[in-house]
Amino acid sequence: MSGIKTLGQFIIEKQADFSYAKGELSRLLRDIGIAAKIVNREVNKAGLVDILGDAGTMNIQGEGQKKLDIYANTQFISALTSGGECCIVATEEEDDFVRIESPVSKNAKYIVCIDPLDGSSNIDVNVAVGTIFSIFRRKSTEGTATLADVLQKGTEQVAAGYVIYGSSTMLVYTTGKGVNGFTLDPSIGEFCLSHPDMKIPQDGSIYSINEGNYVHFPEGVKKYIKYAQVHDAASNRPYTSRYIGSMVADIHRNLIKGGIYIYPTTASSPNGKLRLLYECNPMAFIVEQAGGRASDGFNRILEIEPNELHQRASIFIGSEKMVRMAEGMMAAEYVEKIATIQSA
Ligand code: AHM
Ligand code: MG
């Protein structure tokens, strides 16, 4: 086994880094890793069994749920219930948060916000999907945890991560001390450290956005896309456009190669499409920890005050220089708007 470090070994080694370490967060991360392996098994055989396709129900956002969404949701909730460290799970698939009430979770201190299977419309066509999770410590000290314990700003996250079920399966996570990536070795059934101390390049040449919505984008985003397409050898433009439609896969690629991912406001999604608590916040925490930047075009994602469980946000995330450039164009649009209003 020389040279191999499993996720379990790594978590225990790093436990001393947590100021309040009693092994609980380590156990929680381990529970998520176990559920991810079970979900991975099902995702991998999705084409073989009658588990593909719509389950015929809608989640709270009115989107069709794929059967594997529900399967993944059940697996994560079940792993967090039997693990005993989590008191509330907020998931994309449930209208309300789920209170974990089991004898083992009586003193549980952690809140988990999770998108159990992100990008699930890609499952039917064998394209990468992911799981995204965010972990908070509960703030309240008495009674049962409440919605207020869930609605914390992203800066309060104690850990966050994602799993990408792609050509290989990886788990990438941070506890606020850098980012580490583990690849699942199917022959031993373990996530093994493969990408220690991940860093996103400061600049890049990939932009990822659903350009089909161009006509509905804010002017600042339109300007950025035009900027990305201009020839300028010095800044490596025109950039390359890459959009999978699975946030985890798009951001994972850009994290490694350098790039920007944007999901702005559009006419049909005036507040953005992606969810703050279990999509934007965890990805922002990871990308910032890797040296990148994440905002809603104006404000740092991690400082947005959440008001509701399924709140949406627009997101500009990736290599620092690219995100700053896009933010500059958003700000210019804003300044122009104000000037027009004032001169009217
Ligand atoms: P989901 O949580 O319903 O799967 O939606 C989130 C996904 C992201 O992974 C992806 O980047 C985005 O939606 C794609 O949306 P669009 O098809 O509008 O480009
Ligand atoms: Mg999602």
- Does residue 17 have a pLDDT over 90? no
Domain of residue 74: give its range.
Answer: 7-195
Check residue 106 and give its pLDDT: 78
Q: Mean pLDDT, to the nearest integer, of 187-215?
A: 97
Same domain, 36 and 183: yes
Same domain, 22 and 68: yes
Same domain, 47 and 167: yes
Q: Which of 171, 195, 219 is the last residue of a domain?
A: 195
Check residue 178 and give its pLDDT: 97
CA of 263 to the centre of ligand 1 (A): 9
Q: Which residues crowd ion ligand 2, with CB under 5 Å?
A: 115, 118
DSSP structure string for 58-93: E-TTSPEEEHHHHHHHHHHHHHHHHH--EEEEEETT
The domain spanning residue 164 has which CATH number? 3.30.540.10
What is the separation, in whole angstroms, between the first and last Cα of the chain? 72
Cβ of 283 below 6 Å from ligand 1: no
Q: Which of 195, 215, 232 is the last residue of a domain?
A: 195
Check residue 335 and give its pLDDT: 86
Q: Does residue 186 lie in a domain region? A: yes
The domain spanning residue 297 has which CATH number? 3.40.190.80
Q: Mean pLDDT, to the nearest integer, of 68-96?
A: 95
Check residue 20 and give its pLDDT: 57
CA of 50 to the centre of ligand 1 (A): 24
Cα separation, 131 vs 111, whole angstroms: 16
Same domain, 305 and 238: yes
Q: Does residue 95 lie in a domain region? A: yes
Cα separation, 70 vs 142, whole angstroms: 32
- Does residue 14 have a pLDDT over 80? yes
Count: domains in the chain: 2
CA of 3 to the centre of ligand 2 (A): 35
Same domain, 162 and 220: no
Same domain, 188 and 210: no
Distances (CA, A) of 3 to 13, 151, 191: 15, 41, 13
Check residue 121 and give its pLDDT: 84
Mean pLDDT of the chain: 92
Placement of tokens 């199917």 in the chain: 186
Same domain, 226 and 134: no
Q: Which of 195, 218, 241 is the last residue of a domain?
A: 195
Check residue 16 and give its pLDDT: 73
- Does residue 200 have a pLDDT over 90? yes
Q: Mean pLDDT, to the nearest integer, of 193-209?
A: 98
Check residue 46 and give its pLDDT: 73
CA angle 39, 286, 278 (to 5 degrees): 55
Overall size of the chain counted in residues: 344
Q: Each residue of 109-128: pLDDT tens digit?
A: 999 999 999 998 888 888 99
Check residue 7 and give its pLDDT: 95
Same domain, 309 and 238: yes
- Does residue 1 have a pLDDT over 60? no
Q: Does residue 200 lie in a domain region? A: no
From 58, 254, 273, the mutation candidate for ligand 1 (largest count of ligand atoms within 8 A of CB) is 273
Please name the residue whose Cα sits nearest to atom 16 of ligand 1.
Answer: 245
- Does residue 343 have a pLDDT over 90? no
CA of 274 to the centre of ligand 2 (A): 7
Among 58-72, 115-129, 144-158, 251-265, where is mean pLDDT lowest? 58-72
Same domain, 33 and 176: yes
Same domain, 210 and 188: no
Cα separation, 318 vs 299, whole angstroms: 15
Nearest atom, ligand 1, residue 117 CA:
4
CA of 106 to the centre of ligand 1 (A): 36
Q: Mean pLDDT, to the nearest integer, of 326-344?
A: 88
- Does residue 318 have a pLDDT over 70? yes
Same domain, 116 and 248: no
Angle between helix 24-44 and helix 67-83 axes, rounded to 10 deg: 150
Q: Each residue of 171-192: pLDDT tens digit?
A: 999 999 999 999 999 999 999 9
Cβ of 210 below 6 Å from ligand 1: yes
Check residue 18 and give its pLDDT: 62
pLDDT band at 148 (very low <50, low <70, confident <90, very high): very high
Report the run of H or E that residue 41 belongs to, with start and end. Answer: helix 24-44
